[in-house]
Amino acid sequence: MTSAPHQQLSLDSLGEPLHATTFVVVDLETTGGAANGDAITEVGAVKVCGGEVLGEFQTLVNPQMAITPFVSVLTGITDSMVCTAPTIAVAVPSFLEFARGSVLVAHNAPFDVGFLKAACAQLALPWPAFAVVDTAVLARRVLTRDEVPNCKLGTLAPFFHAATTPNHRALEDARATVDVLHGLIGRLGNLGVHSLPELRSFTAQVSDAQRRKRHLADGLPARPGVYIFRDAQGRPLYVGTSRNLRSRVRQYFVASETRSRMGEMVGLAERVDPIECAHALEAQVRELRLIAAHKPRYNRRSKFPERSVWLKLTVEPFPRLSVVREVRSDGASYLGPLRTQRQAEVVRDAIHDAVPLRQCSDRLSLRRAVRAACVLAGIGRCGAPCEGGMSAQKYAALVGLVAAAWTGDVRPLVDPLERKIVALSEAQRYEQAGVIRDRITTVVRACARMQRLSSLQAVAELVGARPDGDGGWDLSVIRAGRLAAAGHAPRGVPPWPVIEALRATADVVDESHVPLAEETECILRWLEEPGTRLADASDPWMMPAFGAGRLRTYLGSGARDAANPFADRRRLQVLARPARASA
Protein backbone atom coordinates (compact mmCIF):
# COMPACT_ATOMS: atom_id res chain seq x y z
CA MET A 1 0.00 0.00 0.00
CA THR A 2 1.49 3.35 -1.06
CA SER A 3 0.76 6.60 0.71
CA ALA A 4 -0.13 9.81 -1.08
CA PRO A 5 2.91 12.00 -1.75
CA HIS A 6 3.61 15.08 0.34
CA GLN A 7 1.16 14.26 3.12
CA GLN A 8 1.66 16.59 6.05
CA LEU A 9 0.14 16.55 9.49
CA SER A 10 -1.53 19.69 10.72
CA LEU A 11 0.30 21.86 13.18
CA ASP A 12 -2.14 20.89 15.94
CA SER A 13 -1.20 17.22 15.68
CA LEU A 14 2.53 17.85 15.81
CA GLY A 15 3.49 17.47 19.45
CA GLU A 16 7.21 16.67 19.25
CA PRO A 17 9.62 19.13 20.87
CA LEU A 18 11.32 21.75 18.74
CA HIS A 19 14.74 20.09 19.11
CA ALA A 20 13.32 16.94 17.47
CA THR A 21 11.47 18.73 14.67
CA THR A 22 12.82 18.70 11.12
CA PHE A 23 12.78 22.15 9.55
CA VAL A 24 13.36 23.04 5.90
CA VAL A 25 14.48 26.67 5.69
CA VAL A 26 13.72 27.99 2.20
CA ASP A 27 14.47 31.19 0.31
CA LEU A 28 13.50 32.19 -3.23
CA GLU A 29 14.80 34.74 -5.68
CA THR A 30 12.26 36.00 -8.20
CA THR A 31 11.82 38.39 -11.12
CA GLY A 32 9.51 40.62 -9.09
CA GLY A 33 7.18 40.92 -6.15
CA ALA A 34 3.90 39.54 -7.55
CA ALA A 35 3.40 35.79 -7.24
CA ASN A 36 0.78 35.77 -9.99
CA GLY A 37 2.78 37.80 -12.51
CA ASP A 38 6.44 37.15 -11.79
CA ALA A 39 8.49 33.96 -11.68
CA ILE A 40 11.05 32.14 -9.57
CA THR A 41 14.71 32.44 -10.60
CA GLU A 42 16.40 30.49 -7.79
CA VAL A 43 15.46 28.11 -4.97
CA GLY A 44 17.69 27.51 -1.97
CA ALA A 45 16.86 25.37 1.08
CA VAL A 46 18.56 23.87 4.11
CA LYS A 47 17.14 20.90 6.07
CA VAL A 48 17.98 20.96 9.77
CA CYS A 49 17.03 19.02 12.89
CA GLY A 50 18.32 19.48 16.41
CA GLY A 51 20.81 22.09 15.25
CA GLU A 52 22.38 19.71 12.69
CA VAL A 53 22.27 20.30 8.93
CA LEU A 54 20.79 17.24 7.21
CA GLY A 55 20.99 18.45 3.63
CA GLU A 56 20.89 21.38 1.25
CA PHE A 57 18.97 22.10 -1.95
CA GLN A 58 19.87 24.72 -4.55
CA THR A 59 18.96 25.31 -8.18
CA LEU A 60 18.62 28.18 -10.58
CA VAL A 61 15.27 28.28 -12.37
CA ASN A 62 14.56 29.47 -15.89
CA PRO A 63 11.72 31.99 -15.38
CA GLN A 64 10.92 32.01 -19.11
CA MET A 65 10.78 35.79 -19.01
CA ALA A 66 13.36 38.57 -19.02
CA ILE A 67 15.04 39.51 -15.75
CA THR A 68 14.96 43.27 -15.21
CA PRO A 69 18.16 45.27 -14.71
CA PHE A 70 17.07 46.15 -11.16
CA VAL A 71 16.68 42.49 -10.19
CA SER A 72 19.94 41.53 -11.89
CA VAL A 73 21.81 44.17 -9.91
CA LEU A 74 20.05 43.16 -6.68
CA THR A 75 20.56 39.39 -6.92
CA GLY A 76 23.42 38.98 -9.38
CA ILE A 77 21.25 36.60 -11.44
CA THR A 78 21.19 37.39 -15.17
CA ASP A 79 19.38 36.01 -18.18
CA SER A 80 22.50 34.20 -19.33
CA MET A 81 22.79 32.38 -16.00
CA VAL A 82 19.27 30.91 -16.12
CA CYS A 83 18.89 30.25 -19.86
CA THR A 84 19.98 26.60 -19.44
CA ALA A 85 18.53 26.11 -15.94
CA PRO A 86 15.51 23.83 -15.33
CA THR A 87 12.04 25.35 -15.39
CA ILE A 88 9.62 25.30 -12.47
CA ALA A 89 8.16 22.08 -13.90
CA VAL A 90 11.37 20.38 -12.73
CA ALA A 91 12.58 22.61 -9.89
CA VAL A 92 9.40 22.86 -7.80
CA PRO A 93 8.57 19.10 -7.68
CA SER A 94 12.20 18.44 -6.73
CA PHE A 95 11.99 20.93 -3.90
CA LEU A 96 8.68 19.50 -2.65
CA GLU A 97 10.27 16.08 -2.51
CA PHE A 98 13.22 17.52 -0.57
CA ALA A 99 10.90 19.23 1.94
CA ARG A 100 8.40 16.38 2.37
CA GLY A 101 7.52 15.64 5.99
CA SER A 102 9.17 18.80 7.31
CA VAL A 103 8.10 22.17 8.68
CA LEU A 104 8.76 25.02 6.24
CA VAL A 105 10.63 28.04 7.56
CA ALA A 106 11.13 31.30 5.69
CA HIS A 107 11.84 34.92 6.47
CA ASN A 108 8.71 36.82 5.41
CA ALA A 109 7.10 33.48 4.64
CA PRO A 110 4.02 34.81 2.76
CA PHE A 111 6.33 35.92 -0.06
CA ASP A 112 8.13 32.60 -0.55
CA VAL A 113 5.12 30.40 0.17
CA GLY A 114 3.00 32.52 -2.16
CA PHE A 115 5.37 31.90 -5.08
CA LEU A 116 5.56 28.18 -4.31
CA LYS A 117 1.77 27.89 -4.16
CA ALA A 118 1.43 29.82 -7.42
CA ALA A 119 3.93 27.46 -9.07
CA CYS A 120 1.99 24.42 -7.83
CA ALA A 121 -1.24 25.89 -9.19
CA GLN A 122 0.44 26.53 -12.54
CA LEU A 123 1.66 22.92 -12.66
CA ALA A 124 -1.68 21.52 -11.40
CA LEU A 125 0.11 20.05 -8.36
CA PRO A 126 -1.62 19.84 -4.99
CA TRP A 127 -0.02 22.07 -2.39
CA PRO A 128 1.18 19.98 0.58
CA ALA A 129 -0.29 21.18 3.86
CA PHE A 130 3.06 22.30 5.23
CA ALA A 131 3.21 23.82 8.68
CA VAL A 132 4.96 27.17 8.20
CA VAL A 133 7.11 29.21 10.57
CA ASP A 134 7.90 32.84 9.69
CA THR A 135 11.14 33.97 11.33
CA ALA A 136 10.23 37.63 10.71
CA VAL A 137 7.02 37.29 12.76
CA LEU A 138 8.84 35.24 15.38
CA ALA A 139 11.55 37.90 15.70
CA ARG A 140 8.96 40.64 16.17
CA ARG A 141 7.52 38.65 19.08
CA VAL A 142 10.83 37.76 20.71
CA LEU A 143 13.09 40.79 20.18
CA THR A 144 12.68 44.39 21.30
CA ARG A 145 13.48 47.70 19.64
CA ASP A 146 16.35 48.13 22.06
CA GLU A 147 17.99 45.01 20.63
CA VAL A 148 17.40 45.45 16.89
CA PRO A 149 16.01 48.47 14.98
CA ASN A 150 14.05 46.20 12.61
CA CYS A 151 13.49 42.55 11.82
CA LYS A 152 15.05 42.38 8.37
CA LEU A 153 17.20 39.36 7.63
CA GLY A 154 20.22 41.60 7.07
CA THR A 155 19.75 43.00 10.57
CA LEU A 156 19.02 39.72 12.38
CA ALA A 157 21.89 37.73 10.84
CA PRO A 158 24.72 39.75 12.45
CA PHE A 159 22.72 40.07 15.67
CA PHE A 160 22.65 36.26 16.01
CA HIS A 161 26.25 35.96 14.71
CA ALA A 162 25.21 34.04 11.60
CA ALA A 163 28.05 32.34 9.78
CA THR A 164 26.65 33.45 6.42
CA THR A 165 25.95 37.02 5.35
CA PRO A 166 22.66 37.47 3.41
CA ASN A 167 23.36 38.63 -0.14
CA HIS A 168 20.05 38.09 -2.03
CA ARG A 169 21.11 34.65 -3.27
CA ALA A 170 18.76 31.86 -2.26
CA LEU A 171 21.08 29.34 -0.59
CA GLU A 172 23.16 31.93 1.27
CA ASP A 173 20.02 33.64 2.55
CA ALA A 174 18.58 30.27 3.62
CA ARG A 175 21.79 29.46 5.52
CA ALA A 176 21.62 32.81 7.29
CA THR A 177 17.97 32.19 8.15
CA VAL A 178 18.94 28.84 9.74
CA ASP A 179 21.21 30.66 12.20
CA VAL A 180 18.49 33.21 12.90
CA LEU A 181 15.99 30.39 13.53
CA HIS A 182 18.32 28.67 15.98
CA GLY A 183 18.93 31.96 17.78
CA LEU A 184 15.20 32.60 18.10
CA ILE A 185 14.50 29.05 19.32
CA GLY A 186 17.14 29.58 21.98
CA ARG A 187 15.18 32.61 23.19
CA LEU A 188 11.88 30.70 23.13
CA GLY A 189 12.97 28.17 25.76
CA ASN A 190 13.09 30.91 28.39
CA LEU A 191 9.54 31.90 27.41
CA GLY A 192 8.10 28.43 27.94
CA VAL A 193 7.85 27.51 24.23
CA HIS A 194 9.21 24.00 23.66
CA SER A 195 6.95 22.38 21.00
CA LEU A 196 5.32 23.31 17.72
CA PRO A 197 1.81 23.76 19.16
CA GLU A 198 3.27 26.10 21.75
CA LEU A 199 5.16 27.92 19.01
CA ARG A 200 1.95 28.39 17.02
CA SER A 201 0.13 29.81 20.03
CA PHE A 202 3.06 32.10 20.71
CA THR A 203 3.22 33.53 17.18
CA ALA A 204 -0.55 33.74 16.73
CA GLN A 205 -0.57 36.86 18.93
CA VAL A 206 -4.18 36.26 19.92
CA SER A 207 -4.68 36.87 23.62
CA ASP A 208 -7.08 34.91 25.78
CA ALA A 209 -9.14 38.10 26.11
CA GLN A 210 -9.48 38.27 22.32
CA ARG A 211 -10.52 34.63 22.08
CA ARG A 212 -13.19 35.10 24.74
CA LYS A 213 -14.71 37.98 22.77
CA ARG A 214 -15.38 36.02 19.57
CA HIS A 215 -19.08 35.96 20.37
CA LEU A 216 -19.23 39.73 19.73
CA ALA A 217 -19.23 38.99 15.99
CA ASP A 218 -22.25 36.68 16.24
CA GLY A 219 -25.33 37.98 14.52
CA LEU A 220 -23.64 40.80 12.62
CA PRO A 221 -24.93 41.28 9.05
CA ALA A 222 -22.81 40.40 6.05
CA ARG A 223 -23.51 43.86 4.60
CA PRO A 224 -21.51 47.05 4.12
CA GLY A 225 -21.60 49.39 7.05
CA VAL A 226 -19.92 50.78 10.13
CA TYR A 227 -19.07 48.89 13.33
CA ILE A 228 -18.53 50.46 16.76
CA PHE A 229 -16.69 48.65 19.56
CA ARG A 230 -18.02 49.89 22.92
CA ASP A 231 -16.85 49.35 26.48
CA ALA A 232 -18.94 48.40 29.50
CA GLN A 233 -20.17 52.00 29.87
CA GLY A 234 -21.20 52.20 26.21
CA ARG A 235 -18.38 54.56 25.25
CA PRO A 236 -17.02 54.09 21.69
CA LEU A 237 -13.58 52.51 21.71
CA TYR A 238 -13.07 52.10 17.97
CA VAL A 239 -15.04 52.89 14.82
CA GLY A 240 -14.37 51.07 11.56
CA THR A 241 -15.99 50.36 8.23
CA SER A 242 -16.22 47.34 5.95
CA ARG A 243 -18.02 45.97 2.95
CA ASN A 244 -18.85 42.90 5.06
CA LEU A 245 -19.41 43.71 8.73
CA ARG A 246 -19.49 40.12 9.96
CA SER A 247 -16.30 39.08 8.20
CA ARG A 248 -14.36 42.18 9.23
CA VAL A 249 -15.27 42.07 12.92
CA ARG A 250 -14.35 38.37 13.09
CA GLN A 251 -10.81 39.26 12.02
CA TYR A 252 -10.22 41.04 15.34
CA PHE A 253 -10.35 37.69 17.14
CA VAL A 254 -7.91 35.68 14.98
CA ALA A 255 -4.18 35.64 14.31
CA SER A 256 -4.42 37.91 11.27
CA GLU A 257 -4.94 40.86 13.63
CA THR A 258 -1.39 41.65 14.76
CA ARG A 259 -1.78 45.22 16.07
CA SER A 260 -1.19 45.21 19.81
CA ARG A 261 -3.44 48.21 20.42
CA MET A 262 -6.32 46.36 18.73
CA GLY A 263 -5.77 43.42 21.07
CA GLU A 264 -5.98 45.82 24.00
CA MET A 265 -9.14 47.39 22.54
CA VAL A 266 -10.85 44.02 22.07
CA GLY A 267 -10.02 43.15 25.67
CA LEU A 268 -11.96 46.22 26.84
CA ALA A 269 -14.88 45.85 24.41
CA GLU A 270 -18.21 44.52 25.65
CA ARG A 271 -20.31 44.86 22.52
CA VAL A 272 -20.15 45.73 18.82
CA ASP A 273 -22.88 47.92 17.36
CA PRO A 274 -23.38 47.57 13.58
CA ILE A 275 -24.80 50.32 11.36
CA GLU A 276 -25.86 48.93 8.01
CA CYS A 277 -25.32 51.22 5.03
CA ALA A 278 -26.61 51.25 1.49
CA HIS A 279 -23.14 51.04 -0.01
CA ALA A 280 -19.45 51.59 0.73
CA LEU A 281 -19.51 55.38 0.29
CA GLU A 282 -22.17 55.84 2.95
CA ALA A 283 -20.19 53.60 5.28
CA GLN A 284 -17.01 55.63 4.78
CA VAL A 285 -18.80 58.92 5.36
CA ARG A 286 -20.57 57.67 8.49
CA GLU A 287 -17.24 56.41 9.83
CA LEU A 288 -15.63 59.84 9.36
CA ARG A 289 -18.54 61.61 11.06
CA LEU A 290 -18.62 59.21 14.00
CA ILE A 291 -14.86 59.43 14.55
CA ALA A 292 -14.99 63.24 14.44
CA ALA A 293 -17.96 63.31 16.84
CA HIS A 294 -16.85 60.73 19.43
CA LYS A 295 -13.04 60.70 19.02
CA PRO A 296 -12.64 57.02 20.07
CA ARG A 297 -9.38 56.43 21.92
CA TYR A 298 -8.21 53.62 19.61
CA ASN A 299 -8.81 55.45 16.31
CA ARG A 300 -5.77 57.33 15.09
CA ARG A 301 -6.84 59.13 11.94
CA SER A 302 -9.63 61.65 11.30
CA LYS A 303 -10.18 62.28 15.03
CA PHE A 304 -9.50 66.00 15.05
CA PRO A 305 -10.74 67.73 11.88
CA GLU A 306 -10.95 70.94 13.90
CA ARG A 307 -7.15 70.99 13.98
CA SER A 308 -6.97 71.86 10.28
CA VAL A 309 -5.34 75.19 9.54
CA TRP A 310 -5.91 77.83 6.89
CA LEU A 311 -3.78 80.45 5.22
CA LYS A 312 -5.51 83.82 5.36
CA LEU A 313 -5.02 87.07 3.45
CA THR A 314 -5.85 89.54 6.18
CA VAL A 315 -8.31 92.41 5.72
CA GLU A 316 -6.31 95.59 6.25
CA PRO A 317 -4.83 98.38 4.10
CA PHE A 318 -1.79 96.24 3.21
CA PRO A 319 -2.86 92.59 3.69
CA ARG A 320 -0.43 89.89 4.79
CA LEU A 321 -0.48 86.10 5.04
CA SER A 322 -1.49 84.63 8.38
CA VAL A 323 -1.93 81.02 9.57
CA VAL A 324 -5.31 80.67 11.31
CA ARG A 325 -7.42 77.87 12.82
CA GLU A 326 -10.86 78.80 11.51
CA VAL A 327 -12.64 80.50 8.63
CA ARG A 328 -14.67 83.59 9.49
CA SER A 329 -17.14 85.65 7.50
CA ASP A 330 -14.88 88.69 7.47
CA GLY A 331 -14.39 89.19 3.74
CA ALA A 332 -10.88 87.73 3.78
CA SER A 333 -9.51 85.17 1.33
CA TYR A 334 -8.62 81.74 2.73
CA LEU A 335 -6.56 78.83 1.38
CA GLY A 336 -7.29 75.46 2.90
CA PRO A 337 -7.99 73.42 4.79
CA LEU A 338 -4.34 72.49 5.24
CA ARG A 339 -3.50 69.43 7.29
CA THR A 340 -0.71 70.77 9.50
CA GLN A 341 0.84 74.00 10.72
CA ARG A 342 4.06 73.02 8.98
CA GLN A 343 2.33 72.62 5.62
CA ALA A 344 0.73 76.05 6.00
CA GLU A 345 4.11 77.60 6.78
CA VAL A 346 5.71 75.99 3.72
CA VAL A 347 2.91 77.30 1.48
CA ARG A 348 3.29 80.76 3.02
CA ASP A 349 7.07 80.74 2.43
CA ALA A 350 6.59 79.67 -1.18
CA ILE A 351 4.13 82.50 -1.83
CA HIS A 352 6.57 84.95 -0.26
CA ASP A 353 9.24 83.62 -2.66
CA ALA A 354 6.98 84.33 -5.63
CA VAL A 355 5.24 87.57 -4.59
CA PRO A 356 6.82 90.36 -2.47
CA LEU A 357 4.05 90.61 0.12
CA ARG A 358 5.03 92.05 3.48
CA GLN A 359 5.89 89.57 6.21
CA CYS A 360 5.74 91.85 9.24
CA SER A 361 2.74 92.12 11.56
CA ASP A 362 2.78 95.93 11.92
CA ARG A 363 -0.39 97.94 11.43
CA LEU A 364 0.28 100.00 8.33
CA SER A 365 -1.42 103.23 7.30
CA LEU A 366 -2.50 104.39 3.87
CA ARG A 367 -1.69 108.00 4.74
CA ARG A 368 1.85 107.98 6.05
CA ALA A 369 4.96 105.87 6.41
CA VAL A 370 5.11 103.93 9.65
CA ARG A 371 8.79 103.10 9.90
CA ALA A 372 11.90 102.33 7.85
CA ALA A 373 11.83 99.19 5.75
CA CYS A 374 13.39 95.97 7.03
CA VAL A 375 16.13 93.95 5.39
CA LEU A 376 13.60 92.01 3.26
CA ALA A 377 12.97 95.15 1.21
CA GLY A 378 16.69 95.51 0.57
CA ILE A 379 16.92 92.03 -0.98
CA GLY A 380 13.74 92.40 -3.06
CA ARG A 381 11.57 90.13 -0.89
CA CYS A 382 9.13 92.91 0.11
CA GLY A 383 7.70 95.99 -1.61
CA ALA A 384 8.28 98.11 1.54
CA PRO A 385 4.77 99.57 1.94
CA CYS A 386 5.77 100.51 5.51
CA GLU A 387 7.91 103.40 4.22
CA GLY A 388 5.79 104.19 1.16
CA GLY A 389 7.85 102.15 -1.28
CA MET A 390 4.74 100.68 -2.90
CA SER A 391 1.37 102.31 -3.46
CA ALA A 392 -1.81 100.78 -2.09
CA GLN A 393 -3.07 100.15 -5.64
CA LYS A 394 0.07 98.29 -6.69
CA TYR A 395 0.11 96.28 -3.48
CA ALA A 396 -3.58 95.44 -3.93
CA ALA A 397 -2.74 94.04 -7.37
CA LEU A 398 -0.25 91.64 -5.78
CA VAL A 399 -2.82 90.59 -3.19
CA GLY A 400 -5.41 90.04 -5.93
CA LEU A 401 -2.91 87.88 -7.84
CA VAL A 402 -2.44 85.61 -4.80
CA ALA A 403 -6.16 85.37 -4.07
CA ALA A 404 -6.91 84.58 -7.72
CA ALA A 405 -4.23 81.85 -7.74
CA TRP A 406 -5.89 80.14 -4.78
CA THR A 407 -9.23 79.86 -6.53
CA GLY A 408 -8.24 79.85 -10.20
CA ASP A 409 -5.10 80.38 -12.27
CA VAL A 410 -2.11 79.29 -10.21
CA ARG A 411 0.46 80.11 -12.88
CA PRO A 412 1.28 83.62 -11.56
CA LEU A 413 2.55 81.96 -8.39
CA VAL A 414 4.33 79.06 -10.09
CA ASP A 415 6.05 80.90 -12.96
CA PRO A 416 8.34 83.12 -10.79
CA LEU A 417 9.38 80.09 -8.75
CA GLU A 418 10.13 78.05 -11.87
CA ARG A 419 12.32 80.87 -13.15
CA LYS A 420 14.22 80.72 -9.87
CA ILE A 421 14.74 76.99 -10.33
CA VAL A 422 16.22 77.59 -13.77
CA ALA A 423 18.55 80.30 -12.47
CA LEU A 424 19.69 78.20 -9.52
CA SER A 425 20.25 75.16 -11.73
CA GLU A 426 22.35 77.16 -14.17
CA ALA A 427 24.42 78.32 -11.21
CA GLN A 428 24.72 74.64 -10.14
CA ARG A 429 22.98 75.39 -6.84
CA TYR A 430 20.92 72.23 -7.05
CA GLU A 431 20.04 71.91 -3.39
CA GLN A 432 18.45 75.37 -3.33
CA ALA A 433 16.66 74.54 -6.59
CA GLY A 434 15.30 71.40 -4.95
CA VAL A 435 13.92 73.45 -2.04
CA ILE A 436 12.09 75.76 -4.47
CA ARG A 437 10.74 72.76 -6.38
CA ASP A 438 9.36 71.26 -3.17
CA ARG A 439 7.73 74.58 -2.31
CA ILE A 440 6.05 74.71 -5.71
CA THR A 441 4.75 71.19 -5.15
CA THR A 442 3.28 72.14 -1.78
CA VAL A 443 1.57 75.25 -3.17
CA VAL A 444 0.15 73.45 -6.20
CA ARG A 445 -1.17 70.57 -4.15
CA ALA A 446 -2.75 72.88 -1.58
CA CYS A 447 -4.44 74.94 -4.30
CA ALA A 448 -5.55 71.85 -6.21
CA ARG A 449 -7.07 70.34 -3.08
CA MET A 450 -8.97 73.53 -2.25
CA GLN A 451 -10.21 73.94 -5.81
CA ARG A 452 -11.41 70.33 -5.93
CA LEU A 453 -13.26 70.66 -2.64
CA SER A 454 -14.81 74.02 -3.41
CA SER A 455 -15.91 72.91 -6.89
CA LEU A 456 -18.06 70.15 -5.42
CA GLN A 457 -19.22 72.24 -2.47
CA ALA A 458 -20.47 74.87 -4.93
CA VAL A 459 -23.01 72.41 -6.40
CA ALA A 460 -26.27 72.66 -4.47
CA GLU A 461 -27.33 69.11 -5.35
CA LEU A 462 -25.74 66.34 -7.35
CA VAL A 463 -26.92 62.75 -7.84
CA GLY A 464 -24.33 60.05 -8.51
CA ALA A 465 -24.95 56.45 -9.55
CA ARG A 466 -22.45 53.62 -9.58
CA PRO A 467 -22.98 50.01 -10.78
CA ASP A 468 -22.96 47.56 -7.88
CA GLY A 469 -21.53 44.73 -9.98
CA ASP A 470 -24.76 42.71 -9.88
CA GLY A 471 -26.95 44.67 -12.26
CA GLY A 472 -28.07 47.23 -9.69
CA TRP A 473 -27.06 50.76 -8.79
CA ASP A 474 -25.51 52.41 -5.71
CA LEU A 475 -27.06 55.89 -5.47
CA SER A 476 -25.89 59.01 -3.64
CA VAL A 477 -27.45 62.46 -3.21
CA ILE A 478 -24.72 65.02 -2.55
CA ARG A 479 -25.55 68.53 -1.39
CA ALA A 480 -22.90 71.24 -1.00
CA GLY A 481 -20.14 68.65 -0.73
CA ARG A 482 -21.93 66.54 1.90
CA LEU A 483 -23.60 63.16 1.51
CA ALA A 484 -27.27 63.96 2.11
CA ALA A 485 -28.77 60.54 1.25
CA ALA A 486 -27.66 57.12 0.08
CA GLY A 487 -29.64 54.26 -1.40
CA HIS A 488 -29.54 51.20 -3.59
CA ALA A 489 -31.59 50.12 -6.56
CA PRO A 490 -31.29 46.33 -6.94
CA ARG A 491 -31.24 44.59 -10.27
CA GLY A 492 -34.62 44.91 -11.98
CA VAL A 493 -35.70 47.97 -9.96
CA PRO A 494 -35.86 51.25 -11.95
CA PRO A 495 -33.36 53.63 -10.34
CA TRP A 496 -35.18 56.93 -10.94
CA PRO A 497 -38.07 56.32 -8.51
CA VAL A 498 -35.46 55.40 -5.89
CA ILE A 499 -33.56 58.63 -6.65
CA GLU A 500 -36.71 60.73 -6.26
CA ALA A 501 -37.46 59.04 -2.93
CA LEU A 502 -33.91 59.74 -1.75
CA ARG A 503 -34.22 63.38 -2.74
CA ALA A 504 -37.47 63.73 -0.82
CA THR A 505 -35.93 62.33 2.38
CA ALA A 506 -32.37 63.69 2.06
CA ASP A 507 -30.81 65.84 4.74
CA VAL A 508 -31.26 69.58 4.41
CA VAL A 509 -27.74 71.02 4.17
CA ASP A 510 -26.90 74.57 5.15
CA GLU A 511 -24.70 75.76 2.29
CA SER A 512 -22.93 78.21 4.62
CA HIS A 513 -21.72 75.31 6.76
CA VAL A 514 -18.25 74.06 5.79
CA PRO A 515 -18.35 70.22 5.54
CA LEU A 516 -15.59 67.92 6.66
CA ALA A 517 -12.81 68.11 4.08
CA GLU A 518 -12.17 64.36 4.37
CA GLU A 519 -15.85 63.65 3.69
CA THR A 520 -15.81 65.75 0.51
CA GLU A 521 -12.57 64.07 -0.59
CA CYS A 522 -14.14 60.67 0.02
CA ILE A 523 -17.13 61.65 -2.14
CA LEU A 524 -14.83 62.97 -4.86
CA ARG A 525 -12.94 59.66 -5.01
CA TRP A 526 -16.25 57.80 -5.33
CA LEU A 527 -17.48 60.10 -8.10
CA GLU A 528 -14.22 59.81 -10.03
CA GLU A 529 -14.06 56.02 -9.95
CA PRO A 530 -14.55 54.35 -13.36
CA GLY A 531 -18.20 53.51 -13.96
CA THR A 532 -19.73 56.22 -11.76
CA ARG A 533 -22.32 58.35 -13.57
CA LEU A 534 -23.67 61.79 -12.79
CA ALA A 535 -27.42 61.25 -12.96
CA ASP A 536 -28.39 64.86 -12.26
CA ALA A 537 -26.96 68.14 -11.00
CA SER A 538 -28.57 71.43 -10.03
CA ASP A 539 -25.49 73.43 -11.07
CA PRO A 540 -22.52 72.81 -13.35
CA TRP A 541 -19.73 70.92 -11.63
CA MET A 542 -16.62 72.63 -12.97
CA MET A 543 -13.01 73.38 -12.26
CA PRO A 544 -10.93 76.49 -13.18
CA ALA A 545 -9.61 76.27 -16.73
CA PHE A 546 -6.06 77.08 -15.61
CA GLY A 547 -6.38 75.72 -12.10
CA ALA A 548 -3.77 73.83 -10.13
CA GLY A 549 -5.23 70.51 -11.27
CA ARG A 550 -3.60 70.99 -14.68
CA LEU A 551 -0.06 70.94 -13.26
CA ARG A 552 0.27 67.17 -13.11
CA THR A 553 4.06 67.39 -12.83
CA TYR A 554 3.66 68.62 -9.27
CA LEU A 555 0.51 66.68 -8.38
CA GLY A 556 2.06 63.25 -8.91
CA SER A 557 3.71 61.35 -6.07
CA GLY A 558 7.11 61.97 -7.63
CA ALA A 559 9.18 59.87 -9.97
CA ARG A 560 11.22 58.45 -7.12
CA ASP A 561 8.18 57.38 -5.10
CA ALA A 562 6.19 56.14 -8.08
CA ALA A 563 9.00 54.15 -9.64
CA ASN A 564 8.38 50.43 -9.74
CA PRO A 565 11.67 48.74 -10.58
CA PHE A 566 9.95 45.38 -11.14
CA ALA A 567 7.81 46.92 -13.90
CA ASP A 568 10.89 47.83 -15.97
CA ARG A 569 11.34 44.92 -18.38
CA ARG A 570 13.99 46.59 -20.51
CA ARG A 571 17.40 45.05 -21.07
CA LEU A 572 20.49 46.84 -19.84
CA GLN A 573 21.68 49.13 -22.59
CA VAL A 574 25.28 49.71 -23.64
CA LEU A 575 25.86 53.42 -23.07
CA ALA A 576 29.46 53.52 -24.30
CA ARG A 577 31.96 51.19 -25.86
CA PRO A 578 35.73 51.40 -25.36
CA ALA A 579 37.68 52.62 -28.32
CA ARG A 580 39.57 49.99 -30.25
CA ALA A 581 43.28 49.93 -29.65
CA SER A 582 45.19 51.21 -32.63
CA ALA A 583 48.19 49.35 -33.92
The per-residue pLDDT for range 454-474, each reduced to its tens digit, is 899 889 999 999 999 889 999
User: Does 293 lie in the same domain as 312?
Assistant: no
User: Does 431 lie in the same domain as 479?
Assistant: no
Asked if the structure places residue 334 within a domain, the reply is yes
List the CATH number of the domain containing 85: 3.30.420.10
Domain stop point among 186, 203, 220: 203
List the CATH number of the domain containing 250: 3.40.1440.10
Task: Single out the residue of 518, 473, 509 nearest to residue 286, CA to CA.
Answer: 518
Domain stop point among 203, 226, 241: 203
Predicted local confidence at residue 379, as pLDDT = 59
User: Does 448 lie in the same domain as 356?
Assistant: yes
> For the chain, how far is it from start to end, CA to CA, in angstroms?
77
Asked if the structure places residue 486 within a domain, the reply is yes
For residue 238, the enclosing domain spans: 208-303
User: Does 251 lie in the same domain as 156?
Assistant: no
CB distance 549 to 450 below 8 Å: no
Asked if the structure places residue 133 within a domain, the reply is yes
The per-residue pLDDT for range 123-158, each reduced to its tens digit, is 999 999 888 999 998 888 888 878 888 899 999 999
pLDDT greater than 90 at residue 105: yes
pLDDT greater than 80 at residue 433: yes
Task: Single out the residue of 138, 120, 139 nearest to residue 130, CA to CA.
Answer: 120
Grouping H, G, I as helix, E, B as strand and the rest as coil, residue 188 is: helix
User: Does 223 lie in the same domain as 132?
Assistant: no
Q: How many domains does the chain have?
A: 4
User: Does 480 lie in the same domain as 445?
Assistant: no
User: Does 178 lie in the same domain as 50?
Assistant: yes
Q: At what angle do helices 109-122 and 135-142 cross, to 10 degrees?
A: 160
The per-residue pLDDT for range 477-525, each reduced to its tens digit, is 999 999 999 999 999 999 999 999 999 999 988 766 667 888 999 999 9
Q: pLDDT tier at 410 (50, 70, 90 boundaries)? A: confident
Predicted local confidence at residue 290, as pLDDT = 94
Predicted local confidence at residue 556, as pLDDT = 65
- Distance from C-alpha of 503 to C-alpha of 484, rounded to nearest angstrom: 8
- Annotated active-site positions, please? 168
| Number of separate helices (H) and strands (E) present in the chain | 21, 15
pLDDT greater than 70 at residue 552: yes
Predicted local confidence at residue 29, as pLDDT = 95
Asked if the structure places residue 6 within a domain, the reply is no
Range of 310-314, 352-356, 561-565, 566-570 with top mean pLDDT: 310-314
Predicted local confidence at residue 177, as pLDDT = 96
Task: Single out the residue of 199, 164, 186, 196 nearest to residue 46, CA to CA.
Answer: 164
